[in-house]
Chain A
Amino acid sequence: MTTILDPTDEAVPVERSITARPAELAGAVAFLDISKPRGSVLIDRLQELLTAAHPGIKVNRYAKPTFAKPAPAELRAQILSENDFVVEALAD
């Protein structure tokens, strides 16, 4: 990973272009629990709804060590290699 310093006046957030959206939902879906208390409740329900609507998909569950920090690089790499989609939920 390379770190660079922002050359702008920082008036706007750094934006990443969004990956092209697939036409259909198929393959593996990651559900990432960010470890905010009770975030898993929301994720459980979402997973329930999604698997009911799309019985063919495979679901993988992951959790960040702490909500306060970005997911470790290894976890991000693992999610990337094992899935086609990611659902990441905040909860408060």
Chain B
Amino acid sequence: MPNPVPPFSLQSLRGKDVSFPSDRESLICFVKEDCPTCREIVPVLAALHSAFADTVDVHIIGQTSDGNRQLDDEFGPPFDLLDDSTLKVSYATQIDIVPTLYWNDANGQPRQTLTGFVRDEWQSLSQELAQATDTGDVKLDWEELPDWRPGCGSLSVDPLIADKLRAKAENSPLRARRIEIASQDDEVEFMFDQGFSDGLPLVPPTPERVVRMLSGTRRDPQEVIAVMPPNMGEVTVEKLAINAVMAGCKPDYMPVVLTVVEAICTDEYNIHGVMATTMGASPVVVVNGPIREQLGMNMKLGALGQGNRANATIGRAVRLAIRNLGGAKPGGTERSTLGNPMKFTMCFAEWEERNPWGPLHVEKGFKESDSVVSVFTMTSGPTLIVDQDSRTGAQLGGSMGLTLEAMFNPRAHMGTNCLLVVVPEHVDTFMRDNYSKADIRARIQEVTARPIRDLAADEISGVGFKPEAINAMDSDALARKLPKFRTEEDIHIVVAGSEAGKFSGAFHGWVTGEVGSIPVSRKIAELD
């Protein structure tokens, strides 16, 4: 049996606020426009209204606003339909079926409840009501009506929305679809089967875990923080929390994950192109500011490798969101020829305290006390720059240039960018000569600058300026030197790694600029 109808105040189609209960008895019927039985009994409801509206409250409650309008247009009934399109009243009554008819006493307690339409039941209810209220019989030819009609499922039990209604009623922050995994099923296997995984096992995102994850951010769980291509999926804080649970994050990581996703979903960053390219690009996340220490991120020994939960799971949560919310799956819109291990995760912190030049986020215009994420699109890395021999800044900068020139192809100049991760021992070599970041960049550009004639395609490699382009140039044009990078700003520099080892790392970029991906730095604003 459904519950008694709870006290309500609903707006009618004609804009009246109608409250229940009053001090009168009442007839209340729940209907929905697309239910054939409901449509068929509109004349019955009209007759009941005409007979009893003077002595009892007659409320016909429709479950959609549009449906109410349609019923009114089509049937022109004497009653003014009430709007329960939020389904709050329908949900609270726990009705399964429309139509459901209540005859309530003056206190709002049900005297009779009928579901569906069974003619005899409705007729006897109307006769009893007529007797009780001392009104004449309902003007209706009952014999013209069908014996019975089963009714339809109430919109409030529609599986697509019932969970959301329940969550609202229980004041839960969760709105995501609930998936029930049978006890005979292995939940980890189930999640693999559903395609949620990057290939590694996932932590099941139970409601309890997701609520815990949401405690890590002050932001509203239903805030849409981004629309993520290629599927243009809406990324809510809740959805991101679900993916963060699966990735293995702690709640404290949420502000970082949220900000990274906001950053990659900007037009400049262009996550759509980054995912779709056959080149195998992926976001590389660098974290700066006090949050690094608060989360225990690794910026020292092995910073770019495995073993640190924050580094590993923040990057993984972002990648899972790209897969599950953006819909970028290998073979679908993700078209990488070879793939790339960074597509599992790539996130690390800068060792700012070991950086004599000032950290990345300060260079990008943020305050040192800000916590900031920076996202770069990289196709490979970290590749090693092995130099245990140089003793001057110029030599070491030269080594870096020579190594970086091989990116894509030594003859491919002016087309990409890089993220250089300078290790402490190399920092010390640079600082012996007070070499600045600008000096390093200038040195890389200097040693990689080649005359165009040396960048021509030939029998060794087809990459480079094509013969028709070379033939069209005069000797001055052929002598013009092109450095590896279009501008010095395409050389991004951070410091990380252990105190021992003269092996810096370089991430190789993708297409830069408007047609490709522009690095984005974003402050984690909610930490203020």
Contact = CB atoms under 8 A, between A and B. Distances in A.
Interface of A: 1-11, 14-17, 36-38, 66-69, 92
Interface of B is mostly: mixed
Nearest to B227: A9
A36 B150 contact: yes
Tell me if A's interface is mostly helix, strand, loop or mixed: loop
Contact of B207 (A5, A9, A92): A5
Nearest to B228: A9
30 contacts: A1-B181, A2-B181, A2-B204, A3-B206, A4-B187, A4-B204, A5-B176, A5-B179, A6-B178, A6-B179, A6-B242, A7-B176, A7-B205, A7-B242, A8-B327, A9-B231, A9-B234, A9-B324, A9-B325, A11-B231, A11-B233, A14-B194, A36-B150, A37-B116, A37-B150, A66-B96, A67-B153, A68-B96, A68-B154, A68-B157
A83 B196 CA distance: 32
Nearest to A92: B150
B182 A3 contact: no
B75 interface: no
Contacts of B239: 7, 9
Contact of B187 (A2, A10, A68): A2
B243 interface: yes
A6 B239 CA distance: 8
Contact of A4 (B191, B231, B233): B191
A8 B179 contact: no
Contacts of A6: 176-179, 242
Given A4-B206, A7-B325, 7 more contacts: A5-B174, A6-B176, A7-B176, A7-B320, A68-B153, A68-B154, A68-B157
A3 B233 contact: no
A17 B185 CA distance: 12
A17 B179 contact: no
Range class of the B interface residue count: 35 or more
B294 interface: no
Nearest to A9: B233
Contacts of A1: 180-183
Contact of A5 (B177, B182, B194): B177
A18 to B, nearest CB: 12
Contacts of A11: 231, 233, 327
A43 B204 CA distance: 39
Contacts of B193: 16-17
Interface in B145-182: 148, 150, 153-154, 157, 174, 176-182
A7 B204 CA distance: 10
Contacts of A5: 174, 176-179, 205-207, 210, 238, 242
Contact of B196 (A8, A15, A38, A69): A8
Contacts of A69: 96, 157
B234 A3 contact: no
Nearest to B150: A37
Centre residue among A10, A11, A16, A68 by max chain B CB count within 10 A:
A68
B51 interface: no
Interface in B216-260: 231, 233-234, 238-239, 242-243, 246
Closest 4 CB pairs of A and B: A9-B233, A68-B96, A37-B150, A6-B177
Interface string B126-148: 00000000000000000000001
B52 to A, nearest CB: 28
A14 to B, nearest CB: 5
A9 B177 contact: no
